[in-house]
């Protein structure tokens, strides 16, 4: 049971929207959402993890796949929204500064 919990935490942190947008470079987040064909044009840095997760879900379904399947299981992404929301709140002073200094993360076409 401990191993499963640790594996779940590792998977969540690896795909965590906050990690993707705050820790990694802007190009990584932009490329990931572009590959997902997200309809989002930019991700604001304030609460960027939560926004990233919703942008990840806001993409067309892939052709030839079950209509209910959308990349990682939506339940996992929605669980990540909760984790990202908590992390985004802790990082709020930093992300406010970064929003003022650098602006939003633009999803390049």
Q: Which residues of 35-73 are buried (b: 16+ CB within 10 A; e: fewer)?
A: ebebebeebebbbbbbbbbbbbbebeeeeeeeeeebbee
d(CA 85, CA 69): 24
**What domain count does the chain have?**
1
- How far is C-alpha 108 from the chain's CA centre? 16
**Could you tell me the residue range of the domain that residue 16 belongs to?**
2-61+68-106
33: enclosing H helix or E strand: helix 26-35
Residue 102 has pLDDT above 90, yes or no: yes
Query: Does the predicted TM-score (pTM) go above 0.85?
Result: no
Average pLDDT of span 23-42 = 91
d(CA 20, CA 33): 10
Average pLDDT of span 30-48 = 92
For 42-81, the pLDDT digits (tens) are 999 999 999 999 998 888 876 655 544 455 667 777 888 8
Cβ within 8 Å of residue 39, ≥6 positions away: 55, 58, 59
Mean pLDDT of all residues in the chain? 82
């Amino acid at each position: 049971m401990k191993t499963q919990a640790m594996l779940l935490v590792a998977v969540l942190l690896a795909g965590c929207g906050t990690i993707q947008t705050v820790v990694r470079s802007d190009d990584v987040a932009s490329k990931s959402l572009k590959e997902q064909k997200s309809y989002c044009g930019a991700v604001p840095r304030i609460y960027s993890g939560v926004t990233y997760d919703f942008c990840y879900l806001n993409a067309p379904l892939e052709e030839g796949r079950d209509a209910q399947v959308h990349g990682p299981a939506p339940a996992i992404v929605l669980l990540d929204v909760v984790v990202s929301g908590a992390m985004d709140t802790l990082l709020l002073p930093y992300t406010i500064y970064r929003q003022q200094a650098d602006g939003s993360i633009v999803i390049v076409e």
